[in-house]
Amino acid sequence: MERMIVLNMPFTSSTGENTFICPVILEGEAESILIDAGVEGFLDFLKEEAGRLSFDLQNLTTVIVTHQDFDHTGGLPEILARYPKIRVLASRIEKEYLEKRKKFLRLEQSERNLPLLSPAERVEAVAYQEMLKARPPIPVDLTVSEDTDFDCCGGITVIVTPGHMPGHISVYSKKFKAVITGDALTADRGVLQSANPAFTLDMALSKKSAAKFLRYDVEQIICYHGGIVTGDVKKRLRELTGQ
């Protein structure tokens, strides 16, 4: 019996806003997948929240990482240390950053913006950069470089959705008619919104990627930032993507 578990966990954004994030667990017979892993120090909380919904993290077989940002990957080193059998899946592009063969794009962005900041802002930016530099590499076991079907958890498709980050991926669940967007889209009080322009490296490409969701039989969309959106999601998708 498959289940989709949408977690809802408090999160303080980089701008200091108290909000929440939604990692998703797709539970299957042989495989169970966590999509995005929260921030550093999250593991006990994640375990407790999953346990409250009758899921034991011990049963996880795979973590799908939608992209390199720390709010999606910061919790992963602790998860892998406690459950070393878990495999990590990411896009071939993001693998390079996750394994620290390439400089994090957020770090590059912050370094580029540094001359534009006030002295006080600069102190904060440098602390942020140090935090990014100190992040351990995350080994990626499986990669995709195009839309890829897997027959676990009632059937999933990993959809390549560049824009927010160049190697961003999202997940479609056939069984639950759900798209798990990562940061390809956001939601605000149940209303679907575009990717966050402040953090999206290529908005035009992101829009094009989000239009791919229209190809699927979708009844619900789960945004890492904003949670579950139901109703006429295709109508809203068409509005947002101009399709």
Q: Which two tokens stand for residue 23?
A: 């990692």
Span interacting with Zn ion, options 12-20, 66-74, 105-113, 149-157, rule CB under 5 A: 66-74
Q: How far is the CB of 164 from Zn ion (least distance, A)?
A: 8
Taking every pair of C-alpha atoms in the chain, what is the biggest distance, in angstroms? Answer: 56
Q: What angle do CA 96, 137, 24 make, to 5 degrees?
A: 85
Span interacting with Zn ion, options 61-69, 79-87, 118-126, 213-221, rule CB under 5 A: 61-69
Rounded to whole angstroms, the Cα distance separating 203 from 38 reads 24
Rounded to whole angstroms, the Cα distance separating 148 from 159 reads 7
In terms of CB distance, is 31 or 71 closer to Zn ion? Answer: 71
Rounded to whole angstroms, the Cα distance separating 98 from 103 reads 9
CA-to-CA dists, residue 216 to 46, 174, 234, angstroms = 30, 9, 10
Count interface residues toward Zn ion (CB under 5 A): 3
Per CB under 5 A, 96 contacts Zn ion = no
In terms of CB distance, is 28 or 74 closer to Zn ion? Answer: 74
Question: What one-character DSSP code corresponds to residue 66?
Answer: -
Among 71, 98, 173, 218, binds Zn ion (CB under 5 A): 71
Span interacting with Zn ion, options 89-97, 125-133, 154-162, 183-191, rule CB under 5 A: 183-191
Among 31, 94, 96, 183, binds Zn ion (CB under 5 A): 183
Instruction: Specify the amino acid at residue 60.
Output: L
In terms of CB distance, is 143 or 186 closer to Zn ion? Answer: 186
Q: Point out which residues bind Zn ion (CB under 5 A).
A: 69, 71, 183
